[in-house]
């Protein structure tokens, strides 16, 4: 009964939109149950959106990655000019780029999960029997899902902590850190969606006797 009470407290805190209440509610062990449910349902909803809008399926993460990279490059480029030409330096020019870099890598992780470029061991798995290949692919999906749940819950707790303490980005006056941190659980929801997409593809290939293991190529189209 305590778990249900804690789940109710989390839902109540989220409905209140009070960062302090959310922070306290997420300290309970029920946050893991809530996180697993949100990861699964959120991942399935994103998969549905991808199927309804194939453009997002192909370009969403890459667009976020490219624009984050361009923003980093512009800030650094202008920072060099500002410092050595105008003898000036914006105090946030060294704090915003690392946060943008984290956003780029988080969404890049989701995209590369779809491409299966994260330690896929395709050369080794390609010589395994078909049932062994499927078992490895299912294990991949399970481990990625567990990893997504862990990151989602822990980063939500960190985001709530940052918001409740009104932490600002160093060098700025009113840019909150949690505006950047909230992208971590969002990106791992997208990662969970990519994991489910791969699992659905694997099940379809298994049923239709299509090859299960393919050579992964970084940057390949999905």
pLDDT for position 47: 95
Residue 162 to residue 166: CA distance in whole angstroms: 6
DSSP 8-state secondary structure symbol assigned to residue 219:
T
Report yes or no on 4 lying in a domain: no
Report yes or no on 219 lying in a domain: no
* CA-angle at 99, arms to 96 and 105, nearest 5°: 140
Residue 197 to residue 200: CA distance in whole angstroms: 5
Closest CA to 110 of 48, 29, 52, 195: 195
Residue 153 to residue 162: CA distance in whole angstroms: 14
pLDDT for position 90: 86
pLDDT for position 101: 94
Q: Inter-axis angle of helices 30-52 and 2-16, to 10 degrees?
A: 60
Report yes or no on 155 lying in a domain: yes
Would you say 148 and 188 are in contact if contact means Cβ atoms under 8 Å apart?
A: yes
From residue 122, alpha-carbon distances to 140, 184, 192 in Å are 12, 28, 21
Would you say 152 and 188 are in contact if contact means Cβ atoms under 8 Å apart?
A: yes
pLDDT truncated to tens, each residue of the chain (222 aa)?
A: 577 787 788 888 888 888 888 888 888 888 999 999 999 999 999 999 999 999 999 999 999 999 999 999 999 999 888 888 887 888 888 899 999 999 999 999 999 898 888 767 777 888 888 898 899 899 999 999 999 999 999 999 999 999 999 999 988 888 999 999 999 999 999 999 999 999 999 999 989 988 878 776 655 555
DSSP 8-state secondary structure symbol assigned to residue 176:
B
Report yes or no on 16 lying in a domain: no
pLDDT for position 222: 52
Report yes or no on 74 lying in a domain: yes
Chain CA centroid to CA 144, Å: 11
User: By residue range, what is the domain housing residue 119?
Assistant: 35-207
The total of structural domains in the chain comes to: 1
pLDDT for position 10: 82
Adjacent-strand bridge partners of 176: 168
Report yes or no on 147 lying in a domain: yes
Report yes or no on 53 lying in a domain: yes
Would you say 152 and 202 are in contact if contact means Cβ atoms under 8 Å apart?
A: no
Report yes or no on 91 lying in a domain: yes
Six-digit token string for 182: 């909230």
Would you say 168 and 88 are in contact if contact means Cβ atoms under 8 Å apart?
A: no
């Amino acid at each position: 009964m305590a778990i249900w009470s804690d789940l109710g407290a989390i839902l109540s805190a989220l409905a209140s939109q009070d960062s302090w209440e959310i922070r306290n509610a997420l300290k309970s062990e029920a946050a893991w149950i809530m996180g697993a449910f949100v990861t699964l349902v959120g991942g399935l909803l994103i998969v549905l959106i991808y199927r309804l809008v194939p453009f997002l399926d192909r370009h969403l993460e890459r667009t976020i990655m490219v624009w984050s990279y361009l923003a980093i490059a512009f800030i650094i480029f202008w920072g060099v000019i500002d410092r050595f030409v105008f003898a000036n330096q914006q105090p946030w020019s060294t704090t915003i780029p690392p946060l943008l870099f984290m956003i780029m890598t988080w969404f890049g992780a989701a995209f590369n999960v779809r491409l299966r470029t994260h330690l896929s061991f395709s050369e080794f798995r390609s010589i395994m029997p078909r049932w062994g290949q499927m078992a490895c692919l299912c294990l991949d999906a399970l481990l990625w899902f567990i990893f997504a749940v862990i990151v989602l819950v822990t980063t939500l707790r960190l985001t709530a902590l940052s918001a409740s303490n009104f932490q600002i980005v160093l060098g700025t006056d009113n840019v909150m850190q949690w505006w950047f941190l909230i992208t971590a659980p969002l990106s791992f929801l997208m990662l969970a969606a990519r994991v489910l997409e791969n699992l659905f593809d694997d099940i379809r290939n298994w049923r239709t006797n299509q090859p299960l293991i393919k050579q992964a190529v970084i940057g390949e189209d999905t």
